Amino acid sequence: MKVLVDTSIWSLALRRSAPCSIEEKILVDELHELINEARALLIGPIRQEVLSGISDKGQFTDLKERLQAFEDLPLAKEDYEKAAEFFNTCRSAGIQGSQIDFLICAAAFGAGIPIFTSDKDFLLYSRHLKISLLRPRQPQDKPQIIDK
């Protein structure tokens, strides 16, 4: 099964020189496994977020080229409509989130795939939305999907 990898994970793995904690190492190791298994996906807005804010042109070009190896999950009109619905659902429950976060949720929901993120907001969203989050495998474990 493919997995939609969120900006927080890509940034941790690609924009930092090395993980700072054991938790971060587990997340990066999981991304490496997903890449080796050809399961990691992006959407255009995640690609844009990962590339944004890189002032060094050489670093930008290098990162852009590295990301070109990864497939984009195509977005359709229904994904944007579902993102707005998800935004409204969470907002009515007192939960704020970014438009891109809800687009990530909608794209993953529409494709029937989990989201791999370190962003704790997605745990809040998952309480109100029918999204699945990938929990990274621990050493010698298989990945787990947290279903609603």
> Domains, the chain, ranges and CATH?
3-146 (3.40.50.1010)
Residue 11 tokens read as 């940034």
Work out the angle at residue 19's Cα, subtended by the Cα atoms of residues 42 and 56, and round it to the nearest 5 degrees: 65
Q: Is pLDDT at 143 greater than 90 in this prediction?
A: no
pLDDT over 60 at 141, yes or no: no
Confirm whether pTM is higher than 0.85: yes
Of 112 and 137, more confident: 112
Query: Residue 125 corresponds to which amino acid?
Result: Y
Residue 21: its pLDDT value, please?
85
The residue ranking higher by pLDDT, 23 or 94, is 94
pLDDT value for 20 = 75
Q: Which carries the bigger pLDDT value, residue 139 or residue 111?
A: 111
